[in-house]
A and B are shown apart, each in its own frame.
Chain A
Amino acid sequence: MEYVNPEGLRLDGRRPMEMRQIRAEIGSVAKADGSALFEMGNTKVIAAVYGPREVQNRSQQISDKALVRCEYSMANFSTGDRMRKPKGDRRSTEISLVIRQTMEACIMTHLMPRSQIDIFVQVLQADGGTRSACINAATLALADAGIPLRDLVTSCSAGYLNSTPLLDLNYVEDSAGGPDVTVGFLPKLDKVTLLQMDSKLSIDLFENVMQLAIEGCKAVANYIREILLENTKQLEYRRGL
């Protein structure tokens, strides 16, 4: 199948280095301590953060840092085919773990000993890159909850199809079976905190693709920063400052 046509356009009309449109909204779950909605093209996720709060299960309490937990779930209507699958299948568990580890690395957990932070991400629509979208949404939600972070983690994926590195794969490109590199990136510290790849790729190509994904992360980071700034201004305005 041709994923990049001779004119250099992808199936959805993007150029290889082009990201899908991203959109974010802070405070979409009123009852949560922090929440955000994040869209990357048709992929749409909601993240909600509860905490820091008392540890629910005493045996899990950690005396010198906060306990970070994460649950990833997909709505029944999130994919093309309607499905009802039991909660906690392998894929969800794996993604929950990835998100938890990524976020835990950037939360300053030592400031909140003996407490618990819950991150819940809910996929409303899945069209490739749910992992990245969830991490971005979770970052926003954590920032909204006012939880001290080392840096804003952002994430983006990149792939390699038809001998072309592609940024931000959608579902069709993702399921083509080519390599798919997901990067989690700390923009201020200029460090990679998450790196995952399926399939195989030669080392030098891999570096290219990873670099592309990192560029994507930086773009997301800029957008997230803007959104947060805007949100803070709104808050100031409402407080009459």
Chain B
Amino acid sequence: MEIDRVDGRTENQLRPLACSRNILNRAHGSASWSQGDTKVLAAVYGPKAGVKKNENPEKACVEVIWKPKTGQIGKLEKEYEMIVKRTLQSICILTINPNTTTSVIVQVLNDDGSLLPCAINAACAALIDAGIPLKHLAVAICCCLADSGYVILDPTKLEEQKMKAFAYLVFPNLILSVLPEGSLKVVGEPMEHAIITSVTQGAMSVDDYLHCLDRGRAATAKMSAFLRKTLQPQISSDSSKAG
């Protein structure tokens, strides 16, 4: 099937990825992540002493502040804050630093489609940069479904508007599980097949959704490889310094 994408990509092709970390001096961890023209900056502060509001003697607390490129914070930003927060909570090992708060500030630099997945990727990279203990990585992607039924990945803003429906999906990615086996595993399905987060908009059939899942999952393998590649050398240099 031939698909015309404005920028000449094939249906499975992602836009060029770029990630740089440790770009802010004052933050404990920071990263910027861009997919084509969509660019998000994330900063992590913490773990710091928990404030009274979200104090929990057993678990660490993650709070997310979403800063839009322009304008005021509305319902959309509140929803994104909540989704990013819950997604990050699921990958952090919260029991290590009980009664602390980790703040993640997500600053949108430019929005050209797939904004939420881009922000989740940036936040995840920033958490790694800050050295927050994680269970595994989270890799996010946007799948778009056109009227004719074909699926494209990582759409631009223009494509998002033209499409019938789209799904933001976040998948886990890990090499070695640090958690006890069995508590997460389901017979017959590897963990990479599960989803952390799913947000959809527009009507689609259930089969289309499952198709999106497959395609998104395949693409995230590439993204996570990229993420690991970008983060690896710095980690080794850090440890050599420490050593």
Does a CB–CB distance below 8 Å link A and B in the complex?
no
